[in-house]
């Protein structure tokens, strides 16, 4: 069984995306043998008030039988904008299982008190907080996109940028998605990261050579993610599927394909 913990439906304003609806995503999943996907409303990243994207996702989920069994909705929440607590309550009532935050796009920092409060509420509600290191490779970004550009003074974010949040709410469950610019954190944060309830998805560039990464972190820390429809649907799978038996046994592979995702998602019961 395969579960994709990092997928979207919706639009990206700077480029036409293919398969950017639930129908399109289901087609990709069918083609590559993926059973379920965690999905969020991509459009919400560019909305100040993100709730319409969550509502769009909810309506899309109800549009076809089987979608609510196959797709696991996460809400895009902007804790720096009024009304987010009410939005979150509505999303919880509608069966959303986690929250995706985008401080880079919504103009706040992860140690903003509202963001910390959001992670605490998620922890209390049994929701997962999903942190996305980057959305697109800044080297090909649109001139209208955020000014975080690799190699410049305003560089792309790294895992380090999110550590203040994990430090503030260390016992919350986190997905860490599309990891670029390295897995390194400050030495003082390393024990925390290893101990924390975090799951890295396999879509990101920084997952360079999985056999080596599995010597640094156990298989319990990784799960298949595609970052679809922005990144291709196969690379995240390949990082798991191409592991040799002496690098990851069948148990570990199954954890990465779906077991870890199920463990996190079942925390809400």
- Residue 155 as a binder of another protein (CB under 8 A): the answer is no
Residue whose token pair is 């024990």: 191
**Interface region with another protein, contact rule CB under 8 A, candidates 27-35, 72-80, 85-93, 169-177:** 27-35
Using CB under 8 A as the binding criterion, the count of chain residues that bind another protein stands at: 42
* Shortest distance in whole angstroms from residue 184 CB to another protein: 17
Q: Which residues inside 60-89 make contact with another protein, applying CB under 8 A?
A: none
**Interface region with another protein, contact rule CB under 8 A, candidates 24-32, 50-58, 120-128, 260-268:** 24-32
Nearer to another protein, 98 or 236 (CB): 236
Q: How many CB atoms lie within 10 A of CB 243?
A: 18
- Residue 229 as a binder of another protein (CB under 8 A): the answer is yes
Q: Which helix (H) or strand (E) holds 7?
A: strand 3-9
| 158: DSSP letter | -
Close Cβ partners of 25 (under 8 Å, ≥ 6 residues apart): 7, 9, 19, 37, 39, 71, 228, 229
* Shortest distance in whole angstroms from residue 18 CB to another protein: 5
- What the block records as the tokens of 156 is 């792309």
- By residue count, the chain amounts to 269
The rounded distance, in Å, linking the Cα atoms of 10 and 57 is: 8
Q: Which residues bind another protein (CB under 8 A)?
A: 1-2, 15, 17-19, 27, 29-35, 136-137, 139-141, 143, 149-152, 205, 207, 209, 228-239, 241-242, 244
């Amino acid at each position: 069984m395969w579960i994709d913990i990092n997928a979207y439906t919706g639009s990206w304003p700077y480029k036409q995306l293919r398969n950017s609806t639930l129908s399109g995503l289901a087609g990709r999943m069918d083609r590559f043998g993926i059973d379920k996907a965690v999905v969020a409303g991509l459009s919400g990243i560019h909305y100040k008030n993100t709730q319409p994207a969550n509502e769009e996702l909810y309506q899309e989920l109800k549009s076809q039988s089987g979608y609510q069994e196959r797709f696991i909705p996460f809400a895009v929440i902007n804790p720096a904008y009024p009304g987010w607590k009410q939005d979150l309550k509505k999303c919880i009532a509608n069966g959303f299982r986690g929250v995706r935050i985008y401080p880079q796009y919504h103009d706040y920092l992860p140690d903003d008190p509202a963001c910390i409060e959001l992670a605490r509420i998620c922890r209390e509600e049994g929701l997962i907080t999903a942190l996305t290191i980057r959305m697109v490779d800044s080297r090909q970004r649109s001139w209208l996109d955020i000014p975080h550009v690799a190699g410049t003074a305003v560089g792309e974010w790294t895992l380090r940028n999110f550590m203040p949040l994990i430090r503030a709410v260390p016992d919350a469950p986190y997905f860490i998605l599309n990891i670029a610019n390295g897995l390194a954190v400050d030495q003082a944060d390393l024990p925390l990261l290893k101990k924390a309830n975090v799951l890295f998805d396999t879509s990101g560039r920084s997952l360079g050579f999985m056999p080596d990464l599995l010597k640094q972190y156990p298989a319990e820390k990784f799960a298949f993610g595609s970052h679809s429809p922005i990144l291709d649907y196969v690379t995240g799978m390949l990082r798991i599927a191409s592991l040799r038996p002496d690098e990851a046994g069948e148990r570990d592979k199954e954890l990465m394909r779906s077991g870890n995702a199920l463990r996190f998602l079942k925390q809400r019961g």
